[in-house]
Amino acid sequence: MKKALLALAVAGAAVSAQADVSISGHTNYRMGNTEDFNGSDNFSVANNGASGTRFRIVASKEANGITYGSRQELGLDSGSGAPSGRVSQITIGGDFGQFSLGQGWESGDDATELDYSGTYLTSAGGHSGFGGSGVSNIDGGRDQRLRYDSPKLGGVANIAVDFDDSDNLGVAGKIGGDNWKAAMYIENNDVDDTDELGGSIAFKVAGFTAALQLSQKELGTGAGDADYKAVIIGYNVGKMSLAIDIATREDETNGVKTLDRSTKGLNFNYRPVGGVELYAGIRTAEDDIVGATTYNGEKDGDAFIVGGRIKF
């Protein structure tokens, strides 16, 4: 890991004389009792998967109204600290929008995760921070792709399109104002006849926030489908955020329900200074399939965590 980080730092120094370069990232660790969700011991310390520890170098050069950029980002895995590739891409942007080529975010990434509550690190939208509860959302990820992002349309909307090396074609649209935002995406894979559709909408009024998140996936003819739904209600003012949430995930294969789970959470976030977040969360989950014994031989599971994310 040290050699990889040193190589990145040397690369950043080498291009700094030729381009605008920034080095940034964050460390995000949590601790608590997550045994029911991930099989760990009663007390565990781990990287928070909702926004894992990472290190990045971003560089750009501008000429004739066009900005040429490069982004290299490594995730640092829990325990071993071994680096893993998150983003490696080049970008070309201007009044026409921006093209991105390489390993990076698909157009639908985050389209089903809009929220103003400020509690992503423990809430339903990012509850992998607990190590998972079996209620995962359906959302675009990162892949090798060509992506185009439009400039702001009408001052309120953006459109993104991407085509990746798995023959997935994705299209997403986002729109919003000062106290509301909404997004929708669709992705199609002609190779295995898989389709995804999802979106979210979020509001904030005088510190009170509300978000609705929906997504589904059809796994091809006869293979089945999956549906995800979540609601997050919060209060986000100044340095503190508080939210409650409920989410469900249902999967079906060949007409037989293979997953029917729900999760509820209470989430708290405190930001004492810019770039620092201290958080705590309590989460329960339940499998609604008759006879299921998902969590340590029981139908129900629960977990709690506390932790912090510090950016640099």
- Return the pLDDT at 115: 96
CA atoms within 13 A on the CB side of 199: 13
Please tell me the predicted confidence (pLDDT) of residue 223: 66
Asked whether residue 141 is domain-assigned, the answer is yes
Residues of the domain holding 109: 32-48+105-311
3-state SS string for 233-299:
EEEEECCEEEEEEEEEEEEEECCEEEEEEEEEEEEEEECCCCCEEEEEEEEEEEECCCCCCCECCEC
Has residue 68 been placed in a domain? no
CATH number at residue 158: 2.40.160.10
Band of pLDDT at residue 227, cut at 50, 70 and 90: very high
**Residue 290 in tokens:** 């008759």
* 109 within some domain: yes
| Higher pLDDT pick, 35 / 3 | 35
Confidence of residue 15 (pLDDT cuts 50, 70, 90): very low
DSSP letter, residue 68:
E
| pLDDT for 81 | 61
Task: Tell whether pTM > 0.85.
Answer: yes
| C-alpha closest to that of 231 among 185, 182, 264 | 264
pLDDT-based confidence at 86, cuts 50/70/90?
A: very high
Question: Is residue 133 included in any domain, yes or no?
Answer: yes
What span, in angstroms and rounded, lies between the C-alpha atoms of 54 and 312? Answer: 10
Q: What is the structure's pLDDT at 1?
A: 46
Instruction: Give the residue with greater pLDDT, 225 vs 25.
Output: 25
For residues 85 and 234, which has the higher predicted lDDT (pLDDT)?
234
Residue 24: is its pLDDT beyond 90?
A: yes
The answer as to whether 255 is a domain residue is: yes
Q: What is the pLDDT of residues 27-48, one digit of tens each?
A: 999 999 988 888 777 788 889 9
Quick check: is 5 in a domain? no
Number of domains, the chain:
1
- Is residue 294 included in any domain, yes or no? yes
